[in-house]
């Protein structure tokens, strides 16, 4: 018998349930593999994408603690940071973002939106970010406390044991949609940038005793890093909620062969893929996450790594606003 789980309180901000659609293109029609797409790019507008599902819980906790400033981090074009900035503006508290990379001459995409929300930004090098970001956030929070502020740190991608509730519930939502449609999903697939989306889906599959394989395509760090981080997040969730779940390390499937030129960087290969998917399906993939995740999925299908006649659900985690800084690579000059 399943353990009964009562979610912690949250602000219901995401426009859920998000649609589940058949995807109109496939890299190998003869395989009999059908791809479906879970449209979590449609969770909202300025709050669009997968991050808002996690942030519903985290924001509630921040407000309940009477925090007056949100601190978080991400890449220069971070979807997560844009969503945090939007929420801070909506509820009338301050927001500071620590961003990995160099500031562009003119803000664009998510960075421009964050600027409109009047979030403060600080830019640090990739090396400093990867080595010290948790310590940097903690030091900034301590400095603010000394000034009488009440800061609340939101981790990268809102990926912590509280944020995992977002995709734990999203996984349950997805299973209900599949059951209603009479679809048996053999695989789920998603991009992995901080581990929270994958971790929540894994928890849902364990909770529901759902024999689905979850394929995670890393977009920044290596597979070993994510296997360890996801295991830690899931185990913490299990411990905090006093669950009797049994997690196997072999359940965590992460592939880091599709990162391309680097995090939030694309070559002509990724740019052409984004253009072709847009043209053939009417769906926009973003350069940092979903394009690389779907390139990985397509390659798995072409190489026979997914069993013939399987059903695969790809989680579209959003990122439409992040395409604009890549316009020089993405524009189709044949028109």
List active site positions.
78
Closest listed residue to residue 58, CA positions, set 156, 203, 191 = 156
In angstroms, how far is CA 319 from the centroid of its own chain? 9
Catalogue the E-assigned strands of the chain.
20-22, 34-39, 69-75, 94-100, 120-124, 151-153, 187-192, 213-218, 253-255, 311-316
Closest listed residue to residue 48, CA positions, set 79, 73, 24, 19 = 79
Residues 6+ apart with CB under 8 A from 333: none
Reduce the DSSP state of residue 334 to 3 states and report it.
Answer: coil
According to DSSP, residue 177 is labeled H
Check if the beta carbon of residue 326 is closer than 8 Å to that of residue 110. no
Check if the beta carbon of residue 330 is closer than 8 Å to that of residue 275. yes
Check if the beta carbon of residue 19 is closer than 8 Å to that of residue 42. yes
- Give the Cα separation of 31 and 285 in Å (integer): 23
Block residue for tokens 């789980």: 5
**What six digits make up the tokens of 192?**
């992995």
Residue by residue, DSSP assigns 294-322 as HHHHHHHHHTT-S-TT-EEEEEE---GGG
Question: Cis bond leading into 17, ω under 30°?
Answer: yes
């Amino acid at each position: 018998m399943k353990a009964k789980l009562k979610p912690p309180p949250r602000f219901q901000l995401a426009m859920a349930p998000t649609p589940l659609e058949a995807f109109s293109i496939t890299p190998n029609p003869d395989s009999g593999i059908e791809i479906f797409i879970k449209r979590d790019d449609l969770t909202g507008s300025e709050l669009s994408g997968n991050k808002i599902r996690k942030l519903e819980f985290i924001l509630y906790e921040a407000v309940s603690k009477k925090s007056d400033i949100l601190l978080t981090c991400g890449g220069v074009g971070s979807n997560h940071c844009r969503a945090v900035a939007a929420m801070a503006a909506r509820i009338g508290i301050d927001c500071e973002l620590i961003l990995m990379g160099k500031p562009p001459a003119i803000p664009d995409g998510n960075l421009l939106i964050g600027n409109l929300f009047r979030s403060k930004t600080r830019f640090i090098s990739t090396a400093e970010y990867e080595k010290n970001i948790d310590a940097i956030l903690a030091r900034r929070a301590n400095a603010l406390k000394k000034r009488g502020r009440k800061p609340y740190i939101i981790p990268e991608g809102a990926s912590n044991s509280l944020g995992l509730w977002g995709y734990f519930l999203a996984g349950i939502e997805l299973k209900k949609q599949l059951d209603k449609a009479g679809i048996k999903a053999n695989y789920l697939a998603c991009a992995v940038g901080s581990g929270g989306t994958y971790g929540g889906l894994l928890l849902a599959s364990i909770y529901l005793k759902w024999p689905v394989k979850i394929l995670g395509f890393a977009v920044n760090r290596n597979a070993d890093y994510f296997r360890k981080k996801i295991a830690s997040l899931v185990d913490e969730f299990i411990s905090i909620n006093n669950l009797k779940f049994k997690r196997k390390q072999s359940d965590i499937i992460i592939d880091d062969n599709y990162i391309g030129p680097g995090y939030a960087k694309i070559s002509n290969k990724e740019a052409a893929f984004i253009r072709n998917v847009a043209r053939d399906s009417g769906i926009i993939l973003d350069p940092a996450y979903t394009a690389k995740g779907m390139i990985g999925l397509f390659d798995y299908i072409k190489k026979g790594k997914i069993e013939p006649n399987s059903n695969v659900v790809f989680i579209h985690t959003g990122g439409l606003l992040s395409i604009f800084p890549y316009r020089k690579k993405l524009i189709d000059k044949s028109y």
